[in-house]
Amino acid sequence: MFNLRNTLRFSHVDRDSAVTNPTAVLPDTLNRSRPQRDTQESILDNQTDLTAKFDTFGFGHTATTGIELSRETFDFLRWASNGPNTTISNPNHHQLPAKTLAQNSYTTSTGFGIYVADQIRLNQYFDIVGGVRWDYFGTEVNDKFLNDSATSSTRCGVIAVDLSSIRRRRRVTTFPTARLSTPRPKALGLA
């Protein structure tokens, strides 16, 4: 049995913020700093999985292999600003600050990953899980600084579950009505 699945995700967030930070309070005068920033972030990610279920030498396998591609962009503008001062008793919220562009950066990142994993059913009590994934992640900032890296990772594990006993048991819990001294709940009916 084979199952092919594709997941495509996209997000875009645009944030503009301008805050007022009081820097000093003098008699009826407020000095303020008004930093502002504008950020835009976009993420496009696509992941495709192929899952196969089969038996070899009496063991059941659930094998998954796939590929993941992604692209992220981040545009960041930040302004430093001071003032203008205002009064505490009658503040002027419509005064525009004198602002200076403090940061202007644009970042693009790309990612690529391939992976394979297998879950092997040994018997009704034990499964073995193992897998390998290789990833590449590259980033470029508007000053052309490159920070590329590639790596691989492995995962493995053992799952021990007695499914036959779980299906036959049930737990019933009773709670007594409230009293001054309430005893602990009693577990009944393990079959």
Average pLDDT over residues 66-84: 87
Contact status, residue 17 vs residue 32, Cβ threshold 8 Å: no
Computed over every residue of the chain, the mean pLDDT equals 77
Number of residues in the chain: 191
pLDDT tens figures, 85-131: 777 788 777 777 777 777 788 889 999 999 999 999 988 888 888 88
Is the alpha carbon torsion for 61, 62, 67, 68 positive or negative? negative
Q: What percent of the chain has pLDDT over 70?
A: 71
Question: Helices then strands (H, E): number in the chain?
Answer: 1, 11
Hey, how many other C-beta atoms are within 10 angstroms of the C-beta on 62?
A: 17
Model confidence, pTM: 0.58
Confidence of residue 79 (pLDDT cuts 50, 70, 90): confident
Nearest-angstrom CA–CA distance, 30 and 80: 18
pLDDT tens figures, 2-43: 999 999 999 999 998 877 766 666 777 777 777 788 889 999
Strand partners, 115: 66, 133
In this predicted structure, the answer to whether residue 132 has a pLDDT above a threshold of 70 is: yes
What total of structural domains would you count in the chain? 1
Residues spanned by the domain of 129 = 2-188
